[in-house]
């Protein structure tokens, strides 16, 4: 065999060996032999360090909505949300800006806590909903919103809920009726309709055909005493409930022999130059007689406010006058005082008008 043939035979044998193919006895399966991989360089053979496990807290509430349903005759409601730390790290709950508290505010994994809240009702009625935001160090839920719901149903339905009587002239009496109906199906027995002032008088009149569940509360007001605006009320109590259950508000104005419009002067100085009194308009109020048989006379017009000049202008002699108030110098600070005058009316010989000059630099 020539040298060239021997070289070709050696190459063929090496090729067959590198393929690593052998046929097992009595089978047709192929067995593959893998040659070892070449070692990586030093820079590619560095071990990759394992990431350390991160401890993470997780806040989980049993519920996020607290529904009281329907209730009545309550001043406040209290309840509790429960929660636990479902994570692997320490949970810390932040401060709450509401009428609620968290116990405890630091929880280890698996520990439970409580959020106790108080919902003030007062005179509210209808559907109420309040939200509480709970901050924590939970990276997935840093703020959790909780909702509190309740429907407040008044035991009495009152219409109208407030009375506007307007102006009441001297020596006259006015009245208004308020319809009161019980909403829980029981008979209406008003044990007391208590006015907040002796100016008001009340009486109860049952409504026929209402099966005893409705009544009219009649409120009377007689104009006597010092002329003034009034804001009073009537508290209603029922025989089977120890405390008042509803309030009717009553507003109006008692007239005297003299009326003043407006009843007080408010003089704002916002943005006005403090060295130029002429830049400010004058303020005025109207004085009128309520009795056509007694002409009005005004005298001794004075004020206790410094640098305030007063002028009495006759619009209709014996009936209507206008008092013009004008500052001669702008005060450096806010001032309160009064404008006073005397009349010839026996029921109202002296009148005082409150005055406020509000200076905002």
289 shares a domain with 250: no
- Cα(300)–Cα(309) distance, integer angstroms: 13
Last residue of a domain, one of 108, 135, 152: 152
What's the CA gap between 73 and 65, in Å, rounded?
Answer: 23
- Check whether residue 235 and residue 162 sit in a common domain: yes
The verdict on 190 and 209 lying in the same domain is yes
Q: Distance between CA atoms of 277 and 327, rounded to whole angstroms?
A: 7
Contact between residue 264 and residue 232 where contact means Cβ atoms under 8 Å apart: no
Nearest to 292 by CA among 170, 176, 184: 170
- Residue 31 domain-assigned (yes or no): no
In this structure, what are the phi and psi dihedrals at residue 279, rounded to the nearest 5 degrees? -75, -10
Specify the pTM. Answer: 0.52
Confidence of residue 259 (pLDDT cuts 50, 70, 90): confident
Given a cut of 80, whether residue 38 has pLDDT beyond it is: no
Asked, for residue 49, whether it belongs to a domain, the answer is no
DSSP bridge pairs for 337: 355
Q: From 125, 152, 179, give the residue that closes a domain.
A: 152
Is residue 15 situated within a structural domain? no
CA pair distance 310, 269, nearest whole angstrom: 19
Question: Does some domain include residue 7?
Answer: no
pLDDT at position 75 over 70 = yes
Q: How confident is the model at residue 290 (pLDDT cuts 50, 70, 90)?
A: confident
- The CATH number that applies at residue 189 is 2.60.40.10
Q: How far is CA 244 from CA 129, 212, 234, 236, 259, in A?
A: 25, 19, 10, 5, 36
Residue 185 lies in a domain: yes
Whether residues 307 and 349 share a domain: the answer is: yes
| Token reading at 134 | 């709970």
Which of the listed residues 128, 152, 176 is the one where a domain comes to its end?
152
Same domain, 282 and 238: no
Is residue 5 very low, low, confident or very high in pLDDT (cuts 50, 70, 90)?
very low
Neighbours of 341 (CB within 10 A): 21
Name the nearest CA neighbour of 354 among 343, 338, 341: 338
Q: Distance between CA atoms of 311 and 339, rounded to whole angstroms? A: 11
Does 326 map to a domain?
Answer: yes
In what helix (H) or strand (E) does residue 145 lie, and over which residues does it extend?
strand 143-152
My answer on whether 262 and 277 are in the same domain is yes
Residues 134 and 160 in one domain: no
Strand spans (E) along 169-277? 173-182, 190-195, 200-206, 214-222, 228-238, 246-254, 258-261, 265-268
171 within domain boundaries: yes
Cβ atoms of 107 and 84 within 8 Å: the answer is yes
Is the domain of 351 the same as that of 333?
yes
- DSSP three-state, residue 30: strand
- 18: confidence class by pLDDT, cuts 50, 70, 90: very low
Q: Is residue 70 located within the same domain as residue 134?
A: yes
Q: Alpha-carbon distance 93 to 81, whole Å?
A: 14
Do 131 and 163 belong to one domain? no
Can you give the residue range of the structural domain that contains 76?
A: 59-152
Q: State residue 46's pLDDT score.
A: 52
| 312 vs 341: CA distance, rounded Å | 10
Residues 40-46: contacts with CB under 8 Å, at least 24 apart: none
Q: What is the pLDDT of residues 133-156, one digit of tens each?
A: 999 999 999 999 999 999 988 888
Please state, in angstroms and rounded to a whole number, the distance separating the CA atoms of residues 138 and 92. Answer: 8
Same domain membership, residue 66 and residue 138:
yes
Mean pLDDT of 331-352: 90
Residues 187, 166: one domain? Answer: yes
Q: Count up the domains in the chain and report the number.
A: 3
């Amino acid at each position: 065999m020539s040298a060239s043939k021997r070289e070709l035979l050696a190459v063929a044998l090496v090729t067959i060996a590198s393929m690593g193919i052998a046929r097992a006895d009595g089978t047709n399966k192929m067995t593959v032999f893998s040659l070892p991989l070449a070692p990586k360089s030093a820079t590619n053979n560095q071990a990759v360090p394992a990431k350390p496990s991160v401890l993470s807290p997780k806040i989980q509430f049993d519920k996020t909505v607290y529904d009281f349903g329907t209730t009545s005759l309550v001043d406040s409601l209290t309840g509790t949300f429960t929660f636990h730390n479902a994570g692997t790290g320490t949970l810390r709950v932040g401060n709450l800006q509401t009428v609620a508290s968290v116990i405890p505010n630091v929880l280890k994994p698996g520990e439970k806590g409580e959020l106790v809240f108080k919902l003030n009702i007062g005179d509210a009625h209808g559907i109420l909903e309040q939200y509480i935001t709970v901050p924590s160090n939970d990276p997935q839920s840093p703020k959790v919103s909780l909702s509190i719901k309740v429907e407040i149903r008044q035991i009495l339905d009152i219409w109208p809920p407030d009375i506007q009587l307007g102006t009441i002239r001297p020596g006259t009496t006015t009245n208004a009726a308020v319809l009161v109906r019980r909403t829980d199906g029981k008979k209406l027995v008003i044990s007391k309709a208590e006015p907040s002032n002796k100016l008001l008088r009340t009486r109860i009149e049952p409504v026929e055909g209402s099966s005893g569940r409705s009544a009219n509360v009649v409120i009377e007001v007689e104009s006597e005493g010092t002329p003034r605006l009034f804001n009073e009320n009537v508290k209603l109590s029922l025989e089977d409930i120890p405390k008042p259950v509803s309030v009717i508000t009553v507003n109006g104005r008692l007239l005297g022999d003299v009326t003043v419009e407006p009843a007080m002067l408010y003089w704002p100085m916002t943005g006005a130059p403090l060295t130029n009194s002429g830049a400010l308009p004058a303020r005025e109020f109207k004085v009128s007689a309520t009795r056509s048989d007694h002409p009005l006379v005004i005298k001794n017009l004075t004020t206790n406010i410094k640098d305030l000049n007063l002028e009495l202008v006759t619009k209709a002699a014996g009936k209507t006058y206008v008092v013009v108030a004008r500052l001669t110098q702008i005060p450096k600070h806010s001032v309160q005082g009064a404008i006073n005058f005397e009349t010839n009316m026996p029921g109202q010989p002296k009148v005082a008008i409150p005055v406020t000059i509000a200076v905002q630099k």
